[in-house]
Amino acid sequence: MKKYKVCVYAICKNEEKFVERWVNSMKEADLIVVADTGSTDNTVKKLKEMGVKVTSINITPWRFDKARNESLKLVPDDIDICVCTDLDEVFLSGWRDKVEACWDEGVTRLRYNYNWNFDEYGNPATSFYINKIHGRHEYKWTHPVHEVLTYIGDNKENEKTCDNILLNHYADNSKSRSSYLPLLEMSVLEDPEDDRNMHYLGREYMFYHKWNESIDTLIKHLKMPKATWKPERCASMRFIARSYIGLNRLEEASMWYDKAILEEPNLREAYVEKAYLEYMKENYNNSYDLLNKALKIPNKSNSYINEEFCWNYFIYDLMSVNAYAIGKKQEAIKYCEIANKLNPNNERIKNNLEIMKN
């Protein structure tokens, strides 16, 4: 197997608690370089003590793509393979050999598995592919937030999928995401034809309970000629429905969930969300039927669209309550037992199970 020069690069700020774990994961590379964007804790000191090359940078006004590009500049020109990670991420051991084995002649980028978050029991909750392993001179980062690695090479991009490479993300939930909304607004202003950014902006408005702005923006997304990826279109429709629920306009929410199901009938998410809406309206038969359809979809998609509640205890918990309400007692017990097994610390589910059995 041909040997390559491999370099990990990253940006960071005030992440001293992750330094040791991250460096130990990344040290299979020949070199690790970090652009520090203004740490005031011991991040830089600890990185240097562990042999990482650290350079302080100042990005004003702040935007993620410029910071990423500055960190990429720290990678020497003779490096063959660049690996971009964050300090709250960890590779499964042995990743270097797997990267080199995948890096055939002409490959420009690798696509690999990413566990974005985990449930309370340490099981992967949201998983999808990412592609931040790339050649040294063919790429740059674009967009102020939710930045994208953009191909700028002369020849055709050649991306290869490597399912045996796994990167785990252990998010620091104490960090603020307050900068995301203005950066997404900037991103859409800079590139109003980018459907991905329009979708993210509509979703961000929803996170902030800006219901009308969310609806307007997501409808814009759905009307864009480039907005053709059905899972993301389905997600926009679900988020429109959630926003109508926020406005207490439940019939319109129901209509948008129906649109989402028609758009992508092979994903659980729209069925489960509409099932919960029907449950809240005490339409238990409708909710039960929708969940049955959801459970007939056995596998997650390999995209960031997956919603954790469609694959954990929640769907079985809701199914059990609906089944009990419509007189299907044995089914109710069966699904409640599954929910209890998946979430054994939930006292409400335990109590439900005792009530149903007795």
Cite the residue boundaries of each domain of the chain with CATH code 1.25.40.10.
Answer: 180-311
- Radius of gyration of the chain measured on its C-alpha atoms: 23
Q: To the nearest whole percent, how much of the chain has pLDDT over 70?
A: 100
- How far are the Cα atoms of 104, 126, 258, 282 from residue 276, in angstroms, in the given order? 47, 20, 13, 10
In the predicted structure, residue 176 carries a pLDDT above the cut 80:
no
Mean pLDDT of the chain: 96
Angle at 37 between CA 34 and CA 40, to 5 degrees: 105
Q: Identify the pLDDT of residue 274.
A: 98
In the predicted structure, residue 187 carries a pLDDT above the cut 70:
yes
Q: How far apart are CA 175 and CA 187, in angstroms?
A: 21
Topology annotation, domain 180-311: 1.25.40
- Give CATH for domain 6-169: 3.90.550.10
Q: How far apart are CA 85 and CA 6, in angstroms?
A: 13
Torsion region of 350: left, alpha or beta (phi above 0 gives left; psi -120 to 50 gives alpha): alpha
CB-side neighbour CA atoms (13 Å) of 245? 18
pTM of the model: 0.91
> Using one digit for the tens of pLDDT, what is the confidence trace for 221-270?
999 999 999 999 999 999 999 999 999 999 999 999 999 999 999 999 99
Q: Which band of pLDDT confidence, cut at 50, 70 and 90, is reported for residue 1?
A: low
> Using one digit for the tens of pLDDT, what is the confidence trace for 112-158?
999 999 988 888 888 999 999 999 999 999 999 999 999 999 999 99
Cite the residue boundaries of each domain of the chain with CATH code 3.90.550.10.
Answer: 6-169
Q: Identify the pLDDT of residue 206.
A: 98
Question: Which region among 52-66, 175-189, 264-278 has the lowest average model confidence (pLDDT)?
Answer: 175-189
